[in-house]
Each structure stands twice: as structure tokens, then as C-alpha cells.
Amino acid sequence: MFLEVAQLEVRYAGTPKAAVHAVSLRLRAGDIGVLIGPSGCGKTTLLRAIAGLEPLSGGEIRLCGRVVSSAAMQVPAEQRRIGMVFQDYALFPHLDVGRNVAFGMAHLTRAERELRVREVLKLVGLDGSQTRYPHELSGGQQQRVALARALAPRPQLLLLDEPFSNLDVELRERLAHEVRTILKEAGATALFVTHDQLEAFAIGDCIGVMHEGRLHQWDDAYTLYHRPATRFVADFIGHGVFAPATIREVDGQITVQTPLGELTDVAECPLPCAFDGGECDVLLRADDIVHDDAAPVQAEIIRKAFRGSEFLYTLRLAGGQTVLAHVPSHHDHKIGEWIGIRPEVDHVVTFNRAWGLRGSELCQMPCTGRPEACDPPA
């Protein structure tokens, strides 16, 4: 395994609560990992610890099998062969693009530096831009220069801290896809920090969701969305609500009774015995709810957000339960209108009302990042 973080803890003097607590994850060579979570959740602190910029209070960090950080020792940051890309680009305004990219390669001959500068600028799509200055470039181009500079010394690990946060939304998502292509072509191993899940899904092979210093889950995007390990992950990834439900089994058939009616023929549903009396909470995402005027269940539109091809409706059922629904934008109903809706759920994600764990995990240890999720198959 290329990068291994085991039971990592970072504490700041004078603060009773750890900034990062018991975090474990693993990243294979050539993969891109992403840390996502709300502001202040500890993701940048974790990134800085891996870079060697924060001392550890507990746990350890290994690079290529070698311990580089623990509570007892720390390899200096400059000896780790780690490149970093920051949100403010950190380009030198008085140096042209070529000299910005060459910075940090003083150990090479001039000819070797010039060759490497041309290589990485071509890789990021800025071939021939050596003599331009940062102020002559767009924000996206400046970020590409910062990426080229980080890749130029051939680091063994690249760390990116909110690199697109200063760009507009459309450019952020497009650049995320492009940066993934660049990193893959370079064969780079990278760990990326963002608070934007669209960026995370666009760029990451493995994604870690953090909250209050803890890593709730470390998985691929599909698993995070469809099999969230905790209520926080379920709530943070995508739009959805938790609705009270009861699971029953009759003649071998599993059904889930919800405020929207009965769910049948669903995959990956736990058995009723996983919960006390079969009572649980079921996650209903906006794409699980279909607008159907012929449906027996009616809901009042209490809020709506236009998103081009669709509306995100917030709906209130007669019993007071709130649900969300994606509705095609030509179905333009007014707030206060009642519309028919029905559930269309492929697989059920359930949580114990008391513990907040998925039903399938009630008899297992709580999730601590599941580092094995991205391990290669045996």
C-alpha cells in the first residue's frame, strides 16, 4: 500500500477536543483520494499532517511502507517528496510561467529543467506558455501552472488543498475532470481536499467523508451514495430525508412500510430482526420520489429550487413528514399546490433509530473509515 494512515490523532495545545481523531485510511499507488466534509471538520489538518506540517499526538503515517510520522518521530516535510497545490495558487508574480514551474528543481541542470518544464506544461495543456506571467493568465490557467509546478519535481505524493475554491462553479467541475486526466496521465498518487461533493465525485477513486475530526467512511463514490455508513454520510452526500419505516417479512417477502406507502421488490434490504420490532428510519433521496398525478399519496409543495432541467421540490405529506423530489422543469407547479407522488426505490438504506448505523452493520463494529474498501482484491 502506498499511503497508510493508522489511528491518526492531531491535537492543538489548549483545545480539549482533537482536531483529527482515530482516522485510518489507505491509498494505492496511482489512485486519487479525496477528503470531503464541512468547514472545520479536520480534512485540511489531516492533509497537513500527511505533508509533515503538523505533529501527531497519536497513530502513524506510512509512505511506501516507511513510517514518516508518529507521536515519537517525524520525517521533515522537505524529505518526504510531497508536492502541494493550494487554493490561492501561490505563484510568484514576478516570475514567468517557465521560472515558476522550474522553481524547486535547482538540483537539475539548466537543460534538464527546461526539458521538464516543457513536459509538464504540455501535460497540463499550457505548452508554449513559458514566457507569460501569472497576471496574464485566467484563474483556471493559473491553477494549471500551480499543478505543473507541483508535478515537475516528480513527487511521490501530491496533496491538493481546495485548489478550485476560487473559481466559478462551472469551471470548477470541468477543471476537476481535467485534473483527474492529468494526474492519471502523469501516474501520480494524490490526495485532494474539498467541501464540494461534485468535485469529489469527478476526481476521486476513493472518497473520505469527515465530520468533527472523524472519518466516517472511505469508499468509492457509488458506495458512499448508495450505501452510506452513517447518518451523517447519508445526509451529506446527496439530497434526502430520513423517514420512519417498518420492515416486515410475510411468506419470505420483505416489505418496507413508509409514509409514502409500501416498498416491495427492493434489493439489499435488512431483515426485520435487525431492528427492534422492525422499526427503523429509511433514507429517501430526491431521486427516489417520482411525481405522478395518478398516485394515491398527495404532498404539498412548500419550497422549490429551479435547476435548469429540473426542480428540487420540498414536499410535505398530509401527516407532516417532509420529503424531497427531483421533478422535470416543465412540471412547474406553484408553492402551496398539492401533487401526487410515489416512491421508486431500487434498494433500501435503513438506520437504527437509536444508534444511527445501517441495519446491515448493527451486529458489527461501527465504521471507522473502512480502509479495506479500496484495497485490491485478493
- Of 14-18, 50-54, 188-192, minimum mean pLDDT range: 14-18
Q: Residue 150's closest CA among 124, 178, 177?
A: 124
Q: Span 130-155, mean pLDDT?
A: 92
Q: Is the dihedral of CA 3, 176, 169, 240 positive or negative?
A: negative
| The CATH classification of domain 240-356, taken from the options 1.20.1740.10, 2.60.40.10, 2.40.50.140, 1.10.4160.10 | 2.40.50.140
Read off the pLDDT of each residue in 311-331 and give the average, rounded to a whole number: 93
- Give me the percent of the chain exceeding a pLDDT of 70: 93
DSSP state of 272: G
pLDDT at 216: 97
Position 371 pLDDT exceeds 60: no
Reported as a pLDDT band with limits 50, 70 and 90, residue 358 is low
Phi and psi angles of residue 362, each rounded to the nearest 5 degrees, phi first: -65, -25
Question: 23-37, 121-135, 149-163, 345-359 — which is least confidently predicted?
Answer: 345-359
Residue 259 has pLDDT above 60, yes or no: yes
Does the pLDDT at position 130 exceed 90?
yes
**What residue ranges of the chain are covered by domains with CATH 2.40.50.140?**
240-356
* Ranges 40-44, 71-75, 356-360: which has the least confidence: 356-360
Q: How does the average pLDDT of the chain come out, rounded?
A: 88
Instruction: Taking residues 117-123, report their average pLDDT.
Output: 93
pLDDT of residue 174: 83
Alpha-carbon gap, residue 175 to 195, rounded angstroms: 16
The answer to whether 44 and 55 have CB atoms below 8 angstroms apart is no
C-alpha cell at 331: 412540471
The more confident residue out of 217 and 360 is 217
**Residues of each domain in the chain carrying CATH 3.40.50.300:** 3-226
Question: pTM for this one?
Answer: 0.85
Residues in the chain: 378
Report the top-level CATH class of 3-226: alpha beta
